[in-house]
């Protein structure tokens, strides 16, 4: 359903000289009246010509953004009757700034309770965010409704908590089949497992490593989070106030292991999914698992690939690799710098991992050369924390009353189509603040960029998941010449050298391929089959038409946290912030299906790119 919609706001509903709160109250009342009357044209006419409605599951059973009055009309025409929304109200006083009135709102649908955010201009709604945060009758047992825990009274057949947990662990995957199998037990799988546990959905997280948290422990020893602590909380259990701003990778690994136990996440370690197939007739997966040598067959209804935001490592192939006498490996397998003290190291790549590995190798006395194949965006950590994240994720934000949930929803309330417009001024301020730094870096020969449109790191991350470095020290080594620079593509390897396309020869005892990762559907190809990977298509990216994010415009992250073209197959990944935030909406989609609640999906992801 697509139609041309003209504004249709009743003039008597707009109070003259109204306060911000009155303007929002009037708009919400009029909007609800139009929805109650099922008057799609009238409701859509209350949006500005250039407007955006982002919905996280509440109306669409999807993660979807529609644009303009025609987009709003199409969504409502398809979903209004079933959604049956009501109870629109503000939950905090409305505010006004720069001609825009904004407010946090609450509402209900036929099956759920929602939170959202509204921005109004004189023309109508500019942005609207709607999210579902719980399903009626299936609320989490938390806060005032938390479980008692103890079972008072006398019972000769009493089972202790430990007894019940042991019995559950013994049965799940054997006598009882999980409704959901989550492949990948890093932060994404653990966060989703915790959500599903609290919602009462039988789920099992499969992790190939011996311990929860090993996906962090096994990385190079100097790795630390580049995102700050306020950005990285997990659901239900935030980091303590004593937690460092930037957590070392082994500390994160220990936290994830503790969290998995405390949150009672059903979790199999030393377990590898070897294959999976979907039966269209029974609507069920068959998942084969090697559980520490035991062959186990699981038959869930839903399969979630929670293997991060990226797919398999991109390991390039060059002539002469077989004859190279030294060590060579992808950055994901880099063991750390100790074995390479005094050695000649060549790192292919110039993004986060490349910088971190180069810096660590320099610290142990290696002779390090970074091969920059294309320009990279660099932002100093302290500048990013203060100017890029400080209003939402910082001690300053916490002191002003900002909560993690509110920060997440604030970020989510900005549609991706216009997000770059808010990011560009941030990076202009960073460029001015750190002008001397960038001058020295570029004078050293480093090829720097600010993104295709000057919007910097966040948009690069959302569009392509690569092309940037958060400087925690290595850039100074580049600027000083301590880390050497070379440019261009690799032509070949010899016994002791890396040879570039222009003939430059780089002596090497170690070659690290910091060459990134493929799309997550590569894991689907390996586990299920190339036909399913192609059916689903590329994961990640917005369709912005910028470098490594081909169009057409899609408006949301491809295939992430939402239904895909393969029934029963889901992808969950991203950084700790995204794992926390979007695990809620993925868990609620799975919960609804577990309870046989109808979930008609609006705007199912189309496939424009296979990888």
Q: What is the spatial distance between Cα 489 and Cα 474, in angstroms, rounded to a whole number?
A: 22
Among residues 517, 550, 582, the one where a domain terminates is 517
Burial of 31 (0-12, 13-18, 19+ CB in 10 A): buried
Identify the CA nearest to 219 among candidates 241, 249, 189, 248.
249
- Based on the domain organization, do 335 and 235 belong to the same domain? no
Question: What digits encode the pLDDT tens for the residues 132-167?
Answer: 999 999 999 888 889 888 888 888 888 888 999 999
CATH number at residue 71: 3.10.450.50
pLDDT mean over 93-118: 97
Q: Quickly state the pLDDT bin for 609 (edges 50, 70, 90).
A: very high
- Based on the domain organization, do 128 and 257 belong to the same domain? no
CB neighbour list of residue 126: distance below 8 Å, 6 or more residues apart:
47, 48, 50, 51, 52, 100, 119, 120
Q: Quickly state the pLDDT bin for 5 (edges 50, 70, 90).
A: low
- What does DSSP assign to residue 546? B
Read out DSSP for 195-264?
HHHHHT--EEEE-SSSSTTHHHHTS-TT-B-SS-GGG-PPSS-PPPTTS-SS-BHHHHHHHHHHHHHHTT
6 pLDDT higher than 80:
no
7 pLDDT higher than 60:
no
- Based on the domain organization, do 293 and 389 belong to the same domain? no
- Based on the domain organization, do 285 and 372 belong to the same domain? no
CB neighbour list of residue 4: distance below 8 Å, 6 or more residues apart:
69, 70
pLDDT mean over 316-328: 97
Q: How many CB atoms lie within 10 A of CB 529?
A: 15
How many folded domains does the chain comprise?
3
Q: What is the pLDDT of residue 219?
A: 83
Q: What is the spatial distance between Cα 528 and Cα 307, in angstroms, rounded to a whole number?
A: 15
Question: What digits encode the pLDDT tens for the residues 72-98?
Answer: 999 999 999 999 999 999 999 999 999
- Based on the domain organization, do 45 and 173 belong to the same domain? no
Question: What digits encode the pLDDT tens for the residues 517-534?
Answer: 888 889 999 999 999 999
Mean pLDDT of the chain: 94
- Based on the domain organization, do 201 and 276 belong to the same domain? yes
12 pLDDT higher than 70:
no
- Note whether residue 359 is domain-resident: yes
Q: What is the spatial distance between Cα 65 and Cα 183, in angstroms, rounded to a whole number?
A: 28
Q: How many CB atoms lie within 10 A of CB 215?
A: 24
The widest CA-to-CA distance across the chain, in whole angstroms, is 83
Q: What is the pLDDT of residue 212?
A: 97
| Contact assessment for residue 163 and residue 287, using Cβ atoms and an 8 Å cutoff | no
Burial of 475 (0-12, 13-18, 19+ CB in 10 A): buried
450 pLDDT higher than 60:
yes
- Note whether residue 147 is domain-resident: no
| Contact assessment for residue 573 and residue 560, using Cβ atoms and an 8 Å cutoff | yes
- Based on the domain organization, do 341 and 448 belong to the same domain? yes
220 pLDDT higher than 80:
no
- The domain of 330 spans 314-517
- Note whether residue 10 is domain-resident: no
202 pLDDT higher than 80:
yes
- Based on the domain organization, do 524 and 435 belong to the same domain? no
Question: What digits encode the pLDDT tens for the residues 250-262?
Answer: 999 999 999 999 9
Q: What is the pLDDT of residue 158?
A: 87
- Based on the domain organization, do 260 and 391 belong to the same domain? no
CATH number at residue 400: 3.50.50.60
- Based on the domain organization, do 349 and 496 belong to the same domain? yes
- Note whether residue 96 is domain-resident: yes
3 pLDDT higher than 60:
no
205 pLDDT higher than 50:
yes
Identify the CA nearest to 344 among candidates 470, 509, 158.
509
Name the most confidently modeled range: 10-14, 149-153, 176-180, 306-310.
Answer: 176-180
Q: What is the pLDDT of residue 309?
A: 64
**Which of these ranges, 2-11, 79-88, 120-129, 427-436, has the smallest mean pLDDT?**
2-11
- Note whether residue 260 is domain-resident: yes
Q: What is the pLDDT of residue 157?
A: 84
- Note whether residue 141 is domain-resident: no
Read out DSSP for 556-608?
S-TTBSS--SSTTEEE--SSHHHHHHHHHHHHHHHHHHHTT---PPSSPPP--
- Based on the domain organization, do 125 and 186 belong to the same domain? no
- Based on the domain organization, do 74 and 84 belong to the same domain? yes
Q: What is the pLDDT of residue 214?
A: 93
Predicted model pTM: 0.94
β-strand pairing of 505-507 with 497-500: antiparallel
Q: What is the spatial distance between Cα 234 and Cα 215, in angstroms, rounded to a whole number?
A: 16
Burial 341-352 (b: 16+ CB within 10 A, else e): eebbbbbbbbbb
- Note whether residue 110 is domain-resident: yes
pLDDT mean over 229-249: 95
- Note whether residue 4 is domain-resident: no
Among residues 115, 135, 155, the one where a domain terminates is 135
């Amino acid at each position: 359903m697509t139609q041309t919609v003209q504004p249709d706001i009743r003039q008597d509903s707009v109070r003259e000289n109204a306060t911000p709160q009155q303007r929002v109250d009037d708009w919400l009342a009029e909007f609800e009246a139009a929805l109650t009357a099922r008057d799609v044209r009238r409701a859509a006419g209350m949006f500005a010509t250039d407007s955006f409605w982002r919905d996280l599951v509440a109306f669409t059973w999807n993660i979807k953004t529609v644009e303009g009055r025609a987009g709003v009309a199409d969504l409502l025409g398809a979903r209004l009757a079933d959604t049956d929304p009501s109870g629109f109200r503000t939950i905090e006083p409305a505010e006004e700034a720069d001609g825009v009135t904004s407010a946090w709102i609450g509402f209900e649908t036929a099956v759920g309770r929602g939170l959202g955010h509204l921005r109004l201009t004189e023309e109508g709604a500019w942005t609207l965010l709607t999210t579902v945060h719980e399903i009626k009758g299936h609320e989490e047992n938390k806060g005032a409704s938390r479980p008692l825990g103890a079972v008072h009274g006398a019972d000769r057949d009493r089972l202790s908590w430990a007894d019940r947990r042991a019995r559950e662990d013994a049965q799940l995957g054997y006598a009882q089949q999980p409704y959901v199998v989550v492949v990948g037990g890093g932060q994404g799988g653990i966060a989703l497992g915790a959500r599903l546990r609290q919602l009462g959905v039988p789920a099992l997280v499969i992790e190939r490593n011996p311990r929860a948290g090993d996906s962090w422990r096994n990385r190079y020893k100097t790795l630390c989070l580049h995102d700050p602590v306020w950005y990285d909380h997990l659901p239900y259990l935030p980091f303590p106030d004593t937690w460092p701003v930037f957590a070392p990778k082994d500390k994160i690994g220990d936290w994830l292991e503790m969290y998995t136990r405390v949150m009672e996440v059903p979790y199999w370690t030393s377990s590898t999914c070897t294959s999976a197939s979907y039966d269209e007739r029974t609507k069920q997966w068959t998942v084969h698992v090697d559980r520490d040598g035991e062959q186990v067959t699981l038959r869930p209804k839903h399969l979630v690939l929670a293997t991060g935001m990226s797919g398999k490592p991109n390991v390039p192939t060059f002539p002469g690799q077989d004859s190279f006498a030294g060590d060579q490996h992808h950055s994901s397998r880099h063991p750390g710098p100790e074995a390479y003290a005094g050695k000649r190291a060549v790192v292919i790549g110039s993004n986060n991992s490349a910088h971190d590995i180069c810096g660590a190798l320099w610290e142990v006395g290696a002779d390090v050369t970074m091969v920059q194949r294309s320009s990279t965006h660099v932002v100093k950590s302290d500048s990013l924390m203060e100017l890029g994240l400080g209003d939402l994720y910082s001690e300053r934000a916490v002191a002003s009353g900002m909560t993690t949930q509110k920060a997440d929803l604030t970020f989510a309330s900005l549609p991706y189509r216009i997000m770059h417009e808010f990011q560009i001024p941030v990076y202009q301020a960073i460029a001015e603040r750190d002008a001397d730094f960038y001058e020295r870096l570029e004078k050293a020969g480093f090829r720097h960029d600010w993104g295709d449109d000057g919007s910097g790191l966040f948009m690069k991350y959302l569009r392509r998941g690569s092309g940037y470095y958060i400087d925690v020290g290595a850039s100074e080594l580049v600027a000083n010449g301590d880390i050497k620079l070379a440019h261009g593509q690799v032509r070949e390897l010899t016994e002791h050298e890396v040879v570039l396309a222009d003939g430059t020869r780089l002596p090497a005892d170690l070659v690290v391929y910091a060459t990134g990762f493929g799309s997550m559907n590569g894991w689907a190809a390996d586990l299920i089959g190339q036909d399913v990977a192609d059916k689903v298509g590329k994961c990640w990216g917005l369709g912005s038409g910028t470098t490594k994010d081909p169009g057409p415009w899609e408006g949301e992250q491809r295939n992430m946290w939402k239904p895909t073209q393969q029934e029963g197959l889901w992808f969950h990944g991203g950084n700790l912030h995204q794992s926390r935030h979007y695990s809620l909406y993925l868990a609620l989609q799975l919960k609804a299906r577990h309870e046989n609640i109808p979930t008609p999906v609006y705007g199912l992801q189309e496939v424009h790119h296979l990888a």
